[in-house]
C-alpha cells in the first residue's frame, strides 16, 4: 500500500472545527460559530469556496446551476 493511502486511512474520520463565519472575516471561536466537519470534507469546502460562508457558497452553486441550464451545447 502506498504511503499516501496509509496516511489517508490513518486520518480518515478525523474531525476539524469549521468556522461558519471565517476567522479572517471576524468569526469567533464560539459554539454558535463552529461546526465539526470530517477532515476531508473540511479541506474540500475550503478548496472550493475559500472563506465564503454557507449562504455565499450556496449562492455561487445556484448561479453555476442557472448558467449550466441556460447554456446551449453545440455538439
Domain range summary for the chain, segments of one domain joined by +: 13-70
* Cα(29)–Cα(23) distance, integer angstroms: 8
- pLDDT value of residue 7: 55
pLDDT tens digit string along 2-55?
Answer: 555 555 545 567 888 999 999 999 999 999 999 999 888 899 999 999 999 999
- pLDDT value of residue 1: 47
Q: What is the pTM of this model?
A: 0.68
Q: Could you tell me the CA-to-CA distances from 27 to 14, 21, 23, 24 in Å, in that order?
A: 23, 5, 4, 7
* Cα(25)–Cα(10) distance, integer angstroms: 32
- pLDDT value of residue 11: 58
Asked whether 21 and 33 are in contact (CB, 8 A), the reply is yes
- pLDDT value of residue 14: 84
For residues 1 and 68, which has the higher predicted lDDT (pLDDT)? 68
Amino acid at each position: 500500500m502506498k504511503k499516501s493511502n496509509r496516511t489517508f486511512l490513518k486520518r480518515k474520520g478525523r474531525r476539524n472545527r469549521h468556522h461558519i463565519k471565517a476567522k479572517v472575516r471576524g468569526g469567533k471561536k464560539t459554539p454558535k460559530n463552529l461546526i465539526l466537519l470530517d477532515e476531508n470534507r473540511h479541506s474540500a469546502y475550503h478548496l472550493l469556496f475559500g472563506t465564503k460562508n454557507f449562504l455565499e457558497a450556496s449562492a455561487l452553486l445556484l448561479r453555476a446551476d442557472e448558467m449550466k441550464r441556460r447554456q446551449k451545447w453545440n455538439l
